[in-house]
Amino acid sequence: MKIGERSKWVLLCLVLLGLLVPSIGYSAPSEVVENISRKIVFQRDNDLFIVGENGEGLTRLLPNMDIFDIKWGNEGTTFMFEGAGRQEIGFYDYVFEESGKLLSKLRKPASPSRSYTWPSPRGNFYVEVTEYSEPLWTIGLPDTFIHQVLVKRKNGELIGELSQRAYVGVTWSDREDKLVFFTMGPDCADRTKHCQQFVNVYSLETGSITQFEGLINYPLSFLKNGSKLFYFPINNIPGIADLETGQTTMLEGIEMYYPSEGIPEGMFKLAEAGTKVVFGTVSFNAPQYKLRDGVYVYDIETGRVTNLALDSISKFDLVGETVAYSGYRKPGLFVTSLNGGVTQKIVSGNVDGIISIQPRIPAHKYKNRRVLVLAQGIGTQILDGSTPEDILPELWPIIREAVNRGIYQDVIVYSYSSGQMEGGSWVPNKGDPDASFQSIQASVLTFVNMLSKYATVHRGVTYDFLGHSLGGKVMWESLKLYLNIKPANPPDLFSIGKVITLAAPINGRHRDTVLDLVVYSGKGGQLSSQASLELDFEALDGETQLITEMANRKALLEAESRGINIDNLGSSDDCVVPQLGFYPYNSAVVQGFGSIYLGLGRDKSVIEIQDCQLLEDSIFDIDDYLTAVALAQNLNKEELLLKATGHDRIYKSLAPWLDVLDILLFNEKPRRWDFN
């Protein structure tokens, strides 16, 4: 395609865009209330307090109280608990606004039963549990309670009764409408007989209950794929239960326990969709660790243990990336981050009771709607049953934290096959991977059309873009189009706040790499696609790519002058979208402005960086080289290439992951890059 023809095509796209979305125009980013922090409710010397996680607004709510299990409801706008004052008779149910204002105080009737609710993480369902006092004989528990468990919709409509003989508690999956609860067999009232205990998993989508037997302690949690549970059996060795087969696997060599009381429920919490365990004031025994007294994070997948606080603690709570704990040797209430960071003391004195972090900052705290838009690379698709969590899954703990903090009121996913609005929500079309092979200009039109459709329903929305590979390129070209369109009526349809690209070929991509020659040699669809040809055209040689980058530099400066934050993240060892510091291998970053890393998409290089460049050798020499590298690392060639591309995943252990966290949560610029 000649330059003149390409200019005509771009002009045609602009004309078509004016017909499709004539109301797109520039407006300043939506004003957001800054310095909003979660609230933390805690006890100090038996008095109940509330404070912001930044230490501001410390307020005493109630004096001299016995309190049981604080629960937050209504998306973080209220919290409730059962309690009794030292001078009062009986128990009361208290409900407070998140501001600390008492809404209601109702005395509980003298009854052998009590009821409470467990809302689902998405808020569309809840479980109502009625607890009855009844002596039972279970293993290690001579007296306990049984529960009736009802599941209801948000409006109170009864869906059905799940059990009349449940015990301990209910745990929701954070990825889908699924929950787990325990039941006991009919012989548990007779200590002379074997007491059967069952784990029950209920799916609201199918209405079915999967049950398997097991002596399992609380707490437990769904792992990130929703089909497994992480749990503690009676012997204190944590295990993983497969909910499809009913089989259980023990984590051999690992023990977590509280020496005098078994496993205390409040001392274990699972983080990041069940991939990490946070624990404190317990003993942890493993081949390389013997730990006690402190707050620790145990990574289930890697076996690594990291320390958050070297102090005995009485209580702690965990929500998203935020950990709040009470110190013993250094009295006070402390706040830190799950993935490292500064520990802040926000309250002095002896914090000796319950600690509860507000799970989500209510959306009304923010003046305007802010939405995170996600986009994937070439060859990807939206599958049946896909959720936003399946897009860039390695970054989802950060994204969930941003949503829970109220930074984003929605997360939408771009599909190369477009989509539609349904009931105020964007629903991307399921698509063939070939849809991403279309021209970049066609993908840009589809992307901007999505923004316009969503903004027609949610007027004045601010979009933040987060795109990987070709998805980031589409977002970048959409930004340039947005900057070039003159303000139209109405000018406040939507605005752009941030654009974050991850290994995206914004400066084009030079065709001749080892990966093209070998990895894609049998995948002609991607290599010969219109999108790939257009990327090649922008980086035919060093001079051509320099011209492309100069145009991008102009767009970047224009965007930042309008208050739009730009962050381009590239990787010097990426064999697909290289950023090597010389042309035509500067694909992902506008030099002098972006952030360049070693290992944006892999934790250890297996192919020398220079071998990602154009090689003079023949395809057979390259193939022989890769085969030799694979043998040296005890891999087959396919495994080596999958590991070596360094492009498909963003590893959480690396600096880019923490920099994205800073960008999304704290509006900070990247600072951990290797060089620029």
Percent of the chain scored above 70 by pLDDT?
66
Which of 45-49, 115-119, 291-295 is most confident? 45-49
What's the Cα-to-Cα distance from 446 to each of 384, 404, 613, rounded to whole Å? 20, 29, 33
Average pLDDT on 235-262 reads: 69
Cα separations in angstroms, 257 against 199, 283, 297, 353, 519: 21, 5, 15, 21, 48
DSSP structure class, residue 557:
H
Report whether pLDDT(18) > 60: no
Closest CA to 360 of 53, 77, 33: 77
**Coil/strand/helix, residue 649:** coil
Q: Which pLDDT score is estimated for 314?
A: 61
pTM score, whole prediction: 0.63
- What span, in angstroms and rounded, lies between the C-alpha atoms of 648 and 602? 9
pLDDT the model gives residue 295: 79
Specify which of 175-189, 240-254, 376-390 reaches the highest per-range mean pLDDT: 376-390
Give the confidence band of 617 by pLDDT, cuts at 50, 70, 90. very low
Q: Rounded distance, CA 417 to CA 314, Å?
A: 53
First to last CA, the chain: 33
In order of 37, 43, 59, 310, 372, the CA distances from 51 in angstroms are: 10, 11, 6, 23, 29
Q: Is 391 exposed, middle or buried (0-12, 13-18, 19+ CB in 10 A)?
A: buried
Q: How does pLDDT run across 270-282, given as a tens digit for each residue?
A: 776 667 778 776 6
d(CA 643, CA 601): 10
pLDDT band for position 485 (50/70/90)?
A: confident
Tokens of 625: 């080289």
pLDDT value at residue 396: 84
Output 338 or 610, whichever has higher pLDDT.
338
What pLDDT does 477 receive? 96
Burial class (CB in 10 A: 0-12, 13-18, 19+), 19: exposed
Lowest-confidence pick of 445-454, 503-512, 521-530: 521-530
Q: How far apart are CA 12 and CA 441, in angstroms?
A: 10
Architecture of domain 15-32+363-666: 3-Layer(aba) Sandwich (3.40)
The residue that leads in pLDDT, 500 or 487, is 500
Q: What is the mean pLDDT of residues 153-169?
A: 80
- Report how far residue 675's alpha carbon sits from residue 580's, in angstroms, rounded to the nearest whole number: 11
- Strand pairing partners for 567? 500
pLDDT at position 15 is 33
**What pLDDT is attached to residue 472?**
96
Phi-psi region of 320 (alpha: psi -120 to 50; beta: other; left: phi over 0): left
Long-range contacts of 79-84 (CB under 8 A, 24+ apart): 79/41, 79/356, 79/358, 82/108, 82/114, 82/116, 83/48
How many residues does the structure list for the chain? 676
What span, in angstroms and rounded, lies between the C-alpha atoms of 78 and 73? 5
What is d(CA 527, CA 518) in angstroms, rounded to the nearest whole number? Answer: 11
Higher pLDDT, 225 or 459: 459
In sequence order, what are the residues at sequence separation of 6 or more whose Cβ sits closer than 8 angstroms to the Cβ of residue 287? 253
**Strand order through the sheet with 283-286:** 255-257, 283-286, 289-291
For residue 236, what pLDDT is reported? 67
Segment 35-64 shows an average pLDDT of 86
The mean predicted confidence, pLDDT, of the chain is: 75
